[in-house]
Chains A and B, each alone.
With several copies, the nearest count.
Chain A
Amino acid sequence: MDLDFSAAEDAFRAEARAWLAAHVPGTPLPSLETEQGFAAHRTWERTLSADRWSVVSWPEEYGGRGASVLEWLIFEEEYYAAGAPGRVSQNGINLLAPTLFEHGTPEQRARILPPMATGEVIWAQAWSEPEAGSDLASLRSTARRADGGWLLNGQKTWSSRAAFADRAFGLFRSDRSGVDEGRPHRGLTYLMFPLDADGVTVRPIGRLDGKPAFAELFLDDVFVPDEDVIGEPGQGWRVAMSTAGNERGLTLRSPGRFTAAADRLTRLWRDRADPSDTALRDRVADAVIGARAYQLFTYAGASRLAAGGSIGAESSMNKVYWSELDIALHETALDLLGPYGELADRADEAPEHGSWADGHTFSLAGPIYAGTNEIQRDIVAERLLGLPKGRR
């Protein structure tokens, strides 16, 4: 057992660090949940991809470096430690790309991945519907057979960054018989569509701080050609779920985000806090311990993957852990900041360019999206502890 990096990994880290030091903007970009910030972050994606840092774990042919999981973790640590911008392409890179690698055709990969890597095409996810949040299988939006493709109808919501993105992917009901038989997971089809297509209406929705972080999508006979179906029609649930818990499931929240945030919190505490306030000190220490635990837990997972193992329901423990750590960490920072902790991120006087306020708002969504923490705890209890399913 060891926690040592190889010489090649150390070299990879050094290269990433040097590149980031040379390229990360000196002042933070505007919030990526605003139009101006979105554009700035898109430009940053192009900068990243120009030197092949936007998708390090992808094969070289699609713009990556064929990095191992461990190298990817190293890159992420360096990325967030350098204070680099949030990733506006993350929905495509983390959710759609793994699916294309597993279920896409060579043509789809060649067509879709390179412009995703450069930020030329930015993807939004379109999973949820007004009546299908946690209960995703009860989707109602439909895909109807048409000549050479499908016609999409219905409504999607909580589509992250769809207000500014180019294309979206999601599940649509192409066959109702599963519903009638009480097997609603059946008959769903995984499709991709442009957000500026005929029949698509995008209505931005403000998050808690008012920024249009997501949108509602209204779909009215939106045509999608057959080439934009991923996997077999009717098999969308299986296609979507097959990549949810695998090693790329790690990518939802890499430990580097939290170790960097805990380091920043520690600096903030040293600089500004009353050292005799042990109540606050204990909370800062807990954030440091929690971030380190999450990093080490992930190293162990990466080691298991490297040894040929897999990651299954453990990803539910991950989700609960990082989302609650993220909130605790940011609440500690805001409490530490006293009266300045109240300021919105856009306030001129907000400490550290409003990053703590913005991070706090962002953190509050953590226990909700990607499967609420209630659902995750059910999964942990049932699949990892073997407790009876019950009706919850």
Chain B
Amino acid sequence: MRFLLDDEQREFARSLDALLKAADTPAVVRAWSAGDHNPGRALWGRLAEAGVFGLSVPEEHDGLGFLPVELAVAFTELGRHAVPGPLVETVAAAVLLDGLGDRHTTWLPGIASGKTVVTLRPPGDDSPYALDADMADLVLVVTGDTLRAAGSTSSVQPSADPARRLSRPTGGTVLAEGPHVRRAAEHAADVGRLATAAQALGVGRTLLDRTVAHVRERHQFGRPVGSFQAIKHRLADVLISLEFTAPLVRAAALSLASAAGDSGRDIAAAKAAAGDAVHLAARTALQCHGALGYTDELDLSLWIRKARPLRTAWGTPTACRARVLTN
């Protein structure tokens, strides 16, 4: 037992962090929200080079193999830097396509290299929307035992997080049919749920970090806001919530990697905890920033607005809790 990231995994996190810091992700998010996907596509390519999209693609299709722990590490960093785009969806789609085998795997090298952006309607959710379908190269829809590639999409429905551009996939052609589709979709949903939990954890971390920095600097009544006990205790609670979520996310990734035990339950537990943690972090960040935190122009808003959608996407809190108690 060594329930700690190894040196290589930590180094992977550090290198992604450095890459993303240098990329000025807030500007990328704002462009993406305005419908300008170019900076986001460029960043997507660099993330692919760093290996992010290879983590759910087998080596025979030019990926790095299926590596859930590294995937969780990567998505925590993507969350920390608020990277926009159908990141979770592309990774889940890779798992889905790989699970179908056959000619469907022809998409995989493009996914691994970053050339191909895929989105899908989260299987098992009751959402009619696919994220960022307006810019994706392939839009997948699973209905029961059937997989379709959507022919077109409805107009973009903006989310409360404007970086999340939702639309309804419509029409298109059937790519596969049969119970194997359902099984592959369930596996893909687990991967999507895990990646979303990791992303939410990363979003929560940045919300806390930025808020701590703010309350150390901001003075009211002649002293730092962060010296008030009410503020201290709220931020302590956020830290505790995040620190006890992180091992759940790591363990869920391990569980998925080993394919032993009930990884679906472990992932649901991680998602429920991460949803609570990021929600608490966002509420606290907003309150501790006061009116400043309520503005669109402070970059903090880019993270605050992610909290609620990530809490709901790929498994609502109550659906995840029900799953935890399912034998």
By a CB distance below 8 angstroms, the chain A residues around B273 are 289, 293
Cα A365 to Cα B254 in complex, Å, equals 36
Distance A289 CA – B276 CA, assembled complex (angstroms): 12
* A14 interfacial by beta-carbon distance below 8 Å: no
Q: Which residues in A have their C-beta under 8 angstroms from that of B162?
A: 210, 344
Once the chains bind, are A3 and B1 in contact (CB under 8 Å)?
yes
- B325 contact set on A, CB distance < 8 A: 266, 269, 281, 284-285, 288
Q: Taking the nearest CB of chain B, how far is it from the CB of A122, in angstroms?
A: 21
Q: Which of chain A's residues have a CB closer than 8 A to the CB of B251?
A: 3, 292, 296
A339-B312 contact, Cβ under 8 Å, with A300-B4, A374-B231:
yes
Tally of contact residues, A, Cβ under 8 A: 91
Whether A281 contacts B296 by the Cβ 8 Å rule is no
Q: Which residue of A lies closest to B6 (CB)?
A: A1
* Main SS class of interface, B: helix
**B216 and A372 form a contact (CB under 8 A):** no
Tell whether A188 is near chain B: CB-to-CB under 8 Å: no
Contact of B240 among A207, A306, A320 (CB under 8 A): A320
Q: Does B147 belong to the interface (CB within 8 Å)?
A: no
Q: List 23 A-B contacts (CB under 8 A).
A: A133-B290, A205-B295, A205-B296, A207-B295, A278-B318, A288-B269, A297-B243, A334-B308, A343-B160, A343-B166, A346-B158, A347-B159, A350-B157, A377-B232, A385-B235, A385-B236, A387-B215, A387-B224, A387-B226, A388-B216, A388-B223, A390-B228, A392-B228
Q: Bound complex: CA of A244 vs CA of B243, how far in Å?
A: 21
Q: Is A135 an interface residue (CB 8 A)?
A: yes
Smallest Cβ-Cβ distance to B300: which chain A residue: A208
Q: Give residues 240-275 of A contacting B (CB, 8 Å).
A: 266, 269
In the assembled complex, how far is the CB of residue B304 from the closest CB belonging to chain A, in whole angstroms? 7
| Docked pose: A77 CA to B305 CA in angstroms | 32
Residues of A contacting B5 in the complex (Cβ-Cβ under 8 angstroms) = 1
- Compute how far the CA of A169 lies from the CA of B237 in the bound complex, rounded to whole angstroms: 33
Residues 372-392 of chain A, each 1 if its beta carbon lies under 8 Å from chain B, else 0 = 111001101110111111111
Q: Using Cβ atoms and an 8 Å threshold, which residues of chain A touch B127? A: 338-339
Chain B residues with CB below 8 A from A317, complex form: 239-240, 243-244
**Could you give, for residues 47-74 of chain B, a 1 whenever the CB lies within 8 Å of some chain A CB and a 0 otherwise?**
0000000000000000000000100000
Chain B residues near A278 (CB-CB < 8 A) = 318, 322
Q: Which of B159, B227, B245 contacts A387 (CB 8 A)?
A: B227
| 8 Å CB contact of A389 from B227, B237, B290 | B227
Distance in Å from the Cβ of B308 to the closest Cβ of chain A? 7
By a CB distance below 8 angstroms, the chain B residues around A320 are 236, 240
Q: Counting CB contacts under 8 A, is A286 at the interface?
A: yes
The reply to whether A386 and B212 contact each other, CB–CB distance below 8 Å, is: yes
B297 A342 Cβ-Cβ under 8 A: no
For residue B65, give the distance in angstroms from its CB to the closest CB of chain A: 16
Asked if A92 is at the interface of the complex by the 8 Å CB criterion, the answer is: no
Which of A157, A369, A372 has the most C-beta atoms of chain B within 10 angstroms of its own C-beta?
A: A372
With contacts A292-B248, A368-B290 taken as known, whether A133 is within 8 angstroms of B220 at the C-beta atoms is yes
Which bucket holds chain B's interface residue count?
35 or more
Could you mark each residue 328-363 of chain A with 1 if its beta carbon is under 8 Å from any beta carbon of chain B, else 0? Answer: 000000110011011110111110000001001100
- Contact partner, B272, options A157, A285, A373, Cβ 8 Å: A285
Judge whether B124 is part of the interface by a CB distance below 8 angstroms: no
Cross-chain contact A342 with B312 (CB below 8 angstroms): yes
The winner among B9, B247, B269 for most chain A CB atoms within 10 A is: B247
**Shortest distance between the CB of B267 and any CB in chain A (Å):** 12
What is the chain B residue whose CB lies nearest that of A381?
B232
The verdict on B301 contacting chain A, using a C-beta distance below 8 Å, is yes
Closest chain A residue to B248, Cβ basis:
A293
Q: How far apart are A3's CB and chain B's nearest CB, in angstroms? A: 6
Q: Is the CB of B231 within 8 A of A1?
A: no
Q: Within the complex, what minimum Cβ distance (angstroms) separates B225 from chain A?
A: 8
Pairwise interchain contact B304-A208, C-beta atoms closer than 8 A: yes
Closest to B238 in A: A385
Q: Which of A285, A348, A368 gathers the greatest number of chain B CB atoms within 10 Å?
A: A285
Within 8 A of A (CB), among B274-327: 286-287, 290-291, 293-297, 301, 304-305, 308-309, 312-313, 316-318, 321-322, 324-325
CA distance A350 to B156 in the complex (A): 12
Please provide the 6 A-B residue pairs with the shortest distance between their CB atoms, ordered closest to farther: A390-B227, A206-B296, A339-B127, A296-B247, A381-B232, A285-B321
Residues 292-304 of chain A, each 1 if its beta carbon lies under 8 Å from chain B, else 0? 1110110110111
Residue of A nearest to B237 (CB): A377
Bound-complex Cα distance A369 to B223 (A): 20
Say if the beta carbon of A172 comes within 8 Å of chain B: no
Residues on the A chain within 8 Å of B81, using CB: none
Q: Does A39 touch B at the CB level, under 8 Å?
A: no
Measured in the bound complex, the distance between the Cα atoms of B3 and A278 in whole Å is 33
How distant is the Cα of A129 from the Cα of B224 in the complex, in angstroms? 17
> Which chain A residues numbered 274 to 328 have a C-beta less than 8 Å away from chain B?
277-282, 284-286, 288-290, 292-294, 296-297, 299-300, 302-304, 306-307, 314, 317, 320-321
Q: A1-B69, A307-B2 are in contact. Are A296 and B228 (CB under 8 A)?
A: no
Does B129 interact with chain A (Cβ within 8 Å)?
Answer: yes
Q: Is the CB of A208 within 8 A of B290?
A: no
A19 an interface residue at 8 Å Cβ cutoff? no
The chain B residue with its CB closest to the CB of A206 is B296
Q: Is B233 an interface residue (CB 8 A)?
A: yes
- Nearest Cβ in chain B — how far from A89, in angstroms? 22
Check if A5 is an interface residue, CB within 8 A of chain B.
yes
A347 and B239 within 8 A (CB): no
